[in-house]
């Protein structure tokens, strides 16, 4: 089995996770015996990843910075088979959710996770959540520095943080190390963007107060450039200001974005900087040895020279149109010319976005071992990624993915839909998301047409909490409930690309469930008629505005 | 409500003084932050020790100049899920150098005890069944910590460098 090329637990990490499992075992025992009320138990189970959903408990497993070894993925498959119904759901937060867990099994499932150095800590609850990163980290051609080094440093600092375990609300941190932001850092409670200044030093732009949910906001830059070794001191200062002054009177106004909005970015900056001035030279300053020791663990695998142009690949491209399309949409540049980053689409036509069975997970682990140094990534777009695939192995990987049903050449296309679990699973949802995604996916299933339509991000949320990120979809679809009827509100023009981050604008009245496909079809037809040379859907929308789209949609539905 | 320290249940020797009650000449008196601000001079002129009970929205910084003259500070958890007093506790201990008793009151449950100890609390009012037993074990429930705090425990990051001494100034 290949070595891992990301952070490996040592005895300290393992001990902490094991002790946490035993603590939770005792908490579950006390809940089952009635010693703990559900109200008292709730934050305890939430911070161990256990939600109470519509039909059952759901376990949300942390996949820190979206990075998995093949061994870990096999264990996830195993846990899904043993404690669930043999499948799992990869989420927009780079986590894995199991939807049918029994409370009394949860401690054993967590103990099984601990065997492969994984946990479900802080995947829920009013705490600092699992930290997310660019899913191309360590392989991307445009990367300045691997963001996962910093995610791991933040993971450790935030785990069981004694001061910040009862925050006003949940707190999400994302890190990107590339100018092309694939981690959506402007729509997180804190977004960190590594960049190199004019002196050649690498540091963080610190963005605070972004978020989606019922009050979507784009984060404000509190610090243009933060020296790397001061990261934890700055985070602690920000969290302390939030913990002290964030609103707790109203659940819907408790996120840090509301605090930033209400007091203003300027005052927020002053408060955080004042707090930070007191702490920055303290125990949180990161010693160079600590940073280096963690950075070393993320050293990329030794990638031998492989040819950048391969005759067999070129030949297959001419022979097989699906392969050629797959190369265009699912294969991205790697920092080495002889390698590519391959995105396996977890969105085959008509399937629930992000779902994988245990058999499929094991198949993915096998492909990773054979062709990608045993490494798999989870993207926030709910796909799985092989970060280091040699160009000459692309045909074999494509065929192997085809056997698993994950070779659909649709990454970034209209059927690469992000959708939350919606009313099929979720206790908060107003409307179903997955069936809507499935019908759009079926309607646009033809690959040639999808590639003609080009890059188009559809994001679907089943309620205003926006787990499907509908605000930042080129086409956003939000399920609403009007007097017991599920309706869908459509918005256009959202984007998460750095420098272009924008929230979508509502098109008009919500449409009925059975009209969503027609509405999307009308949007696409408007774009196809109006598009200029090289324009993506969202570019055309920005140029011509909402009216032509609106006219056609409401004539059709 | 029973008062606990890590060693076990203890008597509470403090007398809670209402905001309108006369200040007694001696004895251990606990006053609200409002009363403290109104009657600070008179309270400090007494022979007996004085303590202050803060709401979790009261600014701990206001106690900075008197911190060494206080023997008890009580921090309040209106609900166990309202975590503002954790920040107050760390600021009192680590920034203001408070050495006296730091007591948690209100929603104080056993599963919070490890966090409270790490933030500098050393006394706990709780009526939860089994709280005392759980508190006695809370400091060792987790043998590894990741954050430097005033409890002086070396976080994993320091132990990995072969260091044990943690300096905290927050």
ipTM score of complex:
0.96
Residue A66, both tokens = 């979206």
Taking CB atoms and an 8 Å cutoff, what residues of chain B touch A43? Answer: 80-81
- Which one has a higher pLDDT value, B165 or B59? B59
Among chain A residues, the shortest Cα distance to B96 is held by A278
Q: Is the pLDDT of residue B164 over 80?
A: no
Q: Look at A19 and B149 and tell me if their CB atoms are within 8 Å.
A: no
In 3D, which of A106, A60, A66 has the Cα closest to residue A426? A60
Continuous segment of H or E residues that includes residue A437:
helix A434-443
Taking CB atoms and an 8 Å cutoff, what residues of chain B touch A287? Answer: 157, 161
DSSP state, B170? Answer: -
Residue A493's pLDDT is what? 97
Q: Is B145 on the interface with A (CB under 8 A)?
A: yes
pLDDT tens-digit map of A402-418: 999 999 999 999 999 99
| CA distances from residue A209 to A220, A493, B68 in whole angstroms, order as listed | 6, 21, 38
Counting every residue, how long is chain B? 170
Name the one residue in this structure whose structure tokens are 């990163």. Answer: A133
Residue B165's pLDDT is what? 64
Cα separation, A166 vs A177, whole angstroms? 30
B41 Cβ neighbours under 8 A, 6+ residues apart: none
Q: What pTM was computed for the model? A: 0.95
B36 Cβ neighbours under 8 A, 6+ residues apart: B43, B52
Q: Which of B79, B84, B116, B152 to mutate to test the interface with A (most CBs of A within 10 A)?
A: B84
pLDDT tens-digit map of B35-56: 999 999 999 999 999 999 999 9
Residue A497's pLDDT is what? 79
Query: What does CATH list as the number for A11-115?
Result: 3.90.480.20
Q: Is the pLDDT of residue B170 over 50?
A: no
Q: Evaluate whether B93 touches B169 at the Cβ level (below 8 Å).
A: no
Q: Evaluate whether A371 touches A457 at the Cβ level (below 8 Å).
A: no
Interface of A to B at Cβ within 8 Å reads 10, 12-13, 15-16, 19-20, 23, 27, 35, 40, 43-44, 126, 156-157, 159-167, 236, 240, 243-244, 248, 278-279, 281-284, 286-287, 289-290, 293
pLDDT tens-digit map of A281-318: 889 999 999 999 999 999 999 999 999 999 999 999 99
What topology is assigned to A140-295 in CATH?
A: Sulfite Reductase Hemoprotein; domain 1 (3.30.413)
**Residue ranges of chain A with per-residue pLDDT less than 70:** 1-2
Q: Which of B79, B83, B121, B145 to mutate to test the interface with A (most CBs of A within 10 A)?
A: B83
Q: What is the largest CA-CA distance in chain B?
A: 56
Q: How many CB pairs under 8 A join A and B?
A: 109
In 3D, which of A119, A108, A207, A191 has the Cα closest to residue A159? A119
Domain A418-556 of CATH type 3.30.413.10: yes
Residue A4's pLDDT is what? 85
Residue A267's pLDDT is what? 98
Closest approach of B25 to chain A, Cα-based (Å): 36
Q: Evaluate whether A188 touches A210 at the Cβ level (below 8 Å).
A: yes
Query: What does CATH list as the number for A311-404?
Result: 3.90.480.20
Please indicate whether the domains covering A11-115 and A418-556 agree at the CATH topology level.
Answer: no
Rounded to 5°, the CA angle A192-A197-A198 comes to 170
Chain center to CA of A258: 22
Positive or negative: CA dihedral B115, A235, B161, B98: negative
Break chain A into its structural domains and give their ranges. Answer: 11-115, 140-295, 311-404, 418-556
Chain center to CA of A136: 12
Cα separation, A148 vs A9, whole angstroms? 14
pLDDT band for B169, please (50, 70, 90 cuts).
very low
DSSP letters along A345-370, please?
Answer: PS--TTSPTTEEEHHHHHHHHHHHHH
Q: What is the largest CA-CA distance in chain A?
A: 68
In the predicted model, what is the mean pLDDT of chain B?
Answer: 94
- All structural domains of chain B, each given as residue ranges with its CATH number in brackets, are 3-141 (3.20.20.70)
Q: Evaluate whether B164 touches B158 at the Cβ level (below 8 Å).
A: yes
Residue B11, both tokens = 């008597």
DSSP state, A334? Answer: B
Q: How many CA atoms lie within 13 A of A346 on its CB side?
A: 28
């Amino acid at each position: 089995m290949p070595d891992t090329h990301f952070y490996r637990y040592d005895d300290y990490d393992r001990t902490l996770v094991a002790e946490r499992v035993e603590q939770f075992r005792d908490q579950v025992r006390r809940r089952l015996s009635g010693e703990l009320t559900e109200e008292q138990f709730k934050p305890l189970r939430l911070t161990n990843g256990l939600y109470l959903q519509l039909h059952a408990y759901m376990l949300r497993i942390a996949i820190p910075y979206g990075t998995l070894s093949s061994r870990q993925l096999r264990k996830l498959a195993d846990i899904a088979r043993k404690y669930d119904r043999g499948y799992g759901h990869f989420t927009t937060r780079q986590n894995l959710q199991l939807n049918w867990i029994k409370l009394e099994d949860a401690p054993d499932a967590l103990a099984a996770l601990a065997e492969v150095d994984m946990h479900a800590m802080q995947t829920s609850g009013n705490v600092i959540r699992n930290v997310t990163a660019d899913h191309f980290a360590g392989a991307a051609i445009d990367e300045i520095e691997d963001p996962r080094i910093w995610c791991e440093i933040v993971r450790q600092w935030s785990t069981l943080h004694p001061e910040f375990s009862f925050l006003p609300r949940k707190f999400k941190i994302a890190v990107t190390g590339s100018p092309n932001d694939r981690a959506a850092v402007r729509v997180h409670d804190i977004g960190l963007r590594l960049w190199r200044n004019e002196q050649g030093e690498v540091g963080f732009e610190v963005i605070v107060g972004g978020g989606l949910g019922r009050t979507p906001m784009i984060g404000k830059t509190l610090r243009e450039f933060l020296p790397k070794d001061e990261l934890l001191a700055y985070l602690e200062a920000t969290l302390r200001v939030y913990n002290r002054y964030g609103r707790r009177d109203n659940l819907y106004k408790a996120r840090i974005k509301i605090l930033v909005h209400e007091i203003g970015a300027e005052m927020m900056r002053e408060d955080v900087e004042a707090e930070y001035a007191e702490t920055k030279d303290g125990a949180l300053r990161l010693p160079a040895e600590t940073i280096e020791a963690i950075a070393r663990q993320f050293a990329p695998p030794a990638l031998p020279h492989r040819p950048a142009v391969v005759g067999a690949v070129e030949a297959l491209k001419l022979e097989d149109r699906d392969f050629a399309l797959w190369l265009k949409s699912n294969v991205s540049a790697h920092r080495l010319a002889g390698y590519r980053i391959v995105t396996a689409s977890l969105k085959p036509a008509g399937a629930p976005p992000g779902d994988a069975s245990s058999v499929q997970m094991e198949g993915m682990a096998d492909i990773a071992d054979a062709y990608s140094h045993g490494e798999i990534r989870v993207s926030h777009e709910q796909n799985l990624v092989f970060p280091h695939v040699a160009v000459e192995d692309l045909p074999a990987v494509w065929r192997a993915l085809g056997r698993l049903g994950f070779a659909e050449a649709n990454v970034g296309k209209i059927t690469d839909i992000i959708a939350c679990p919606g009313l099929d699973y979720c206790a908060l949802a107003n409307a179903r998301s997955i069936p809507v995604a499935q019908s759009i996916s079926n309607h646009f299933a033809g690959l040639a047409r999808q590639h003609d339509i080009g890059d188009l991000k559809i994001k679907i949320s089943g309620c205003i909490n926006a787990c499907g990120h509908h605000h930042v979809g080129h086409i956003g679809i939000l399920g609403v409930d009007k007097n017991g009827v599920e309706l869908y509100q459509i918005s256009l023009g959202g984007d998460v690309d750095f420098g272009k981050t924008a929230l979508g604008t509502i098109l008009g009245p919500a449409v009925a469930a059975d009209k969503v496909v027609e509405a999307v079809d009308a949007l696409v037809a408007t774009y196809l008629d109006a598009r200029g040379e090289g324009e993506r859907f969202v570019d055309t929308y920005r140029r011509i505005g909402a009216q032509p789209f609106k006219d056609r949609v409401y004539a059709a539905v | 409500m029973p008062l606990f320290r890590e060693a076990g249940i203890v008597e509470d020797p403090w007398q809670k003084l209402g905001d309108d009650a006369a200040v007694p000449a001696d004895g251990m008196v606990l006053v609200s932050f409002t009363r403290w601000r109104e009657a600070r001079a008179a309270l400090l002129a007494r022979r007996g020790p004085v303590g202050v009970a803060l709401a979790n929205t009261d600014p701990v910084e206001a106690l900075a100049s008197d911190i060494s003259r206080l023997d008890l500070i009580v921090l309040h958890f209106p609900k166990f899920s309202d975590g503002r007093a954790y920040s107050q506790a760390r600021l009192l201990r680590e920034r203001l150098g408070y050495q006296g008793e730091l007591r948690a009151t209100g929603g104080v449950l056993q599963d919070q005890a490890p966090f409270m100890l790490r933030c500098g609390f050393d006394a706990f009012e709780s009526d939860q069944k089994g709280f005392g037993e759980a508190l006695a074990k809370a400091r060792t429930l987790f043998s590894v910590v990741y954050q430097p705090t005033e409890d002086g425990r070396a976080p994993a990051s320091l132990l990995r460098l072969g260091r044990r001494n943690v300096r905290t100034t927050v």
